[in-house]
Amino acid sequence: MVYILILWGYAFGLLFLYGHFTWQGVKAGFQIDTDLPVVLKTLLGFVPLTAGALVWNYFYRVGSLVNAVMVLGALMGAILMRHSIGQAVKIGWATLKSTPWWITGLIAMMLFVVVYRAAYFMYTPDTGLYHAQAVRWAEEYAVVPGLGNLHGRLATNSSWFITAALLGYSTLSVGLQMFFRVTGGAPFAVELQALLFPFHPVNSLLIGLMIFHGFSAMGDWVKGARGYGVFLRIVAAVAAFYLYLDDFAAPNPDVPAALFLWLTILSFTYWIERKHAGDLDENALLVMFFGVFAVTVKLSALPVLILPLYLVVHRWRKGWLWLSAGLLVLFFLPWLGRYYVLSGYLVFPLEKIDLFNPDWKMGMDAVQDIREWILSWGRIPVLDKDDVLAMPLTTWVPIWWGNLRIYVRVLLYLSLGASAFAAVRLFLDARANRLAVVGRASWGALMVALWCGMAYWFFSAPDPRFVMGFLLPLLGVMLLYVAGAVRETGWFGWVVIALAAGVAGLWGLKTTSSVWQRRGEHSAEQRFIAPIGYVSGRVEGFVRDDVVAHEINGYTVFLPREGEDCWYAPLPCVVNLKEAVYLRGDTLQEGFRLNPKP
């Protein structure tokens, strides 16, 4: 746990500073006086840090050197902006001190649970299949042309893999090695080094930030804040804590995709409530940043771009052009470019968007096969994809519905009912002129974005893991809009706060008490210094170096001795041998192709 806290502290400092630099530039460009809380600046910091690492990875691996460059940039910026940084820290500390003790205690308990579970828990199957390998490729190589030819899932392009590489194991290992050199190989230093195994706790940090951001809304309520956004923040914190317990230790992009979707929708909700005149403020700008970032983390978040597009069209300002162009050039285009390098396609696995023909291009049949497996697995897992895709809607939907967990079905039922009531209320409010025109249009745009997200999920890959980014905000927004009176009544807020605090508190106490009852490698004593990481992976899964080497077409690949999970095995690790994959040059860095070099 100590190693995780060290990485948390390092990452928090970098994220806060780069988020602060970004916000200061945005404030100057848009002439906005409002500052952001420390936690929101830290969340914003994911955008510039990841964008910089994305560009860097075109030329070099994401490791100690890029971290050194970013630390140097952070130090220089901190010197230049020392006064504004000091002011932001003072305000943040004053806010923390004014937070009621029971809220601070609740946050502390939940953060302890997050750190502990991040130190030993890793039950995410896709992390064993390709997440950990994608992160390791970014840590050890610049982006590799045709990597998808070696292992199709490695063509999956998530900016979160770059974030995990930037703020993960390799960074800490280099820092500890420097510490070991300074200590001259002292016995305690050698023991600490022996405990260090690969791990990437960036998901746990993000969830910790969401918990702090969400439960601090309770303090805002106590101080008199009202509105939909306050309640949605609380719900988002509880949901992040409960839904992603198994993902605290894994660099699973499903988690940040959902959480940044929530942040986008929260920001849009705050904008509706605070600016019925349609002016742009800090919330509108966060919609742009968080929405674009969510899409680069996972393409299934694409419908959320309806919200920033609505803002651009609805209240156009020249500054929007510069901000949009900046995000496009510095972030969106480098992210799209990775698709081209990894697979040869503009977007993977959409083989019909066939615009390029590089020598490392993946076979169209292979890309189509992956796309069809993703679709069929989302509908009915385990069955052969051809059988599933041949089923008409009336056949596979009942089977799919029967396979859903009860709580997912309940959430879907509630969302359908709440959406119907919300649509009726919006219509009645419009007819009675209870909302300004901008209010009606804004709530309508939010509802459209949420339902487009649900439709996109249902027709592309209806796996419940991929929908929480839209489903929970849909349910929350619709229910709160139907309730309507939450801004004027106090009792409703206290009920929500009591329920959220009760659920989180009981779950946190249950988990905390179980920590001290564990024995062996999962005990708190064993995990006090270092996490398990990928050494044991799943309980029945990958054991470090449990791979077999094979020579093929002049290079060595590793296969898992058992199962289909490579986890963090040495590169290149594949789940099955492909006889028709060749090196483009003499090294792995030059990439892979389907035909021998001419």
Residues 506-558 pLDDT 10s: 666 666 555 544 545 555 555 666 666 675 444 334 444 577 888 888 888 88
- Phi and psi angles of residue 212, each rounded to the nearest 5 degrees, phi first: -65, -45
pLDDT of residue 193: 58
pLDDT digits (tens, 9 = 90+) for 252-263: 999 999 999 999
Give strand pairing partners of 547. 560
According to the model, what pLDDT value does residue 294 have?
A: 94
Give pLDDT, residue 277: 46
Question: What is the Cα Rg of the chain in Å?
Answer: 24
Q: How far apart are CA 470 and CA 447, in angstroms?
A: 10
Query: What pLDDT score was predicted for residue 443?
Result: 80
Q: Given its phi and psi angles, is residue 484 left (phi above 0), alpha (psi -120 to 50 degrees) or beta?
A: left
Residue-level pLDDT at 21: 93
Helix axes 468-483, 228-243, angle to 10 degrees: 150
Count of beta carbons in the 10 Å neighbourhood of residue 585: 11
CA angle 592, 63, 141 (to 5 degrees): 10
Selection from 201, 254, 195, 272 nearest residue 441 by Cα: 272
Over the stretch 150-206, which tens digit does the pLDDT of each residue have?
A: 888 899 889 999 999 999 877 666 666 666 666 555 555 555 555 566 778 899 999
Ranges of H-type helices in 301-405 = 306-314, 318-327, 333-343, 364-379, 385-389, 393-403
Q: Is the Cα dihedral 67, 72, 74, 75 positive or negative?
A: positive
Instruction: Looking at mean pLDDT, say which of 293-297, 400-404, 413-417, 565-569 comes out highest.
Output: 293-297
Please state, in angstroms and rounded to a whole number, the distance separating the CA atoms of residues 492 and 221. 11
- pLDDT for the residue numbered 509: 61
Would you tell me how many other CB atoms lie within 10 Å of the CB of residue 536? 18
For 538, list phi and psi in degrees, rounded to 5: -70, 165
Task: Specify the higher pLDDT residue, 587 or 504.
Answer: 587
pLDDT per residue as tens digits for the range 66-83:
988 999 999 999 999 889
Which residue has better confidence, 226 or 71? 71
If we measure between CA atoms, which residue out of 360, 246, 351, 260 comes closest to residue 301?
A: 260
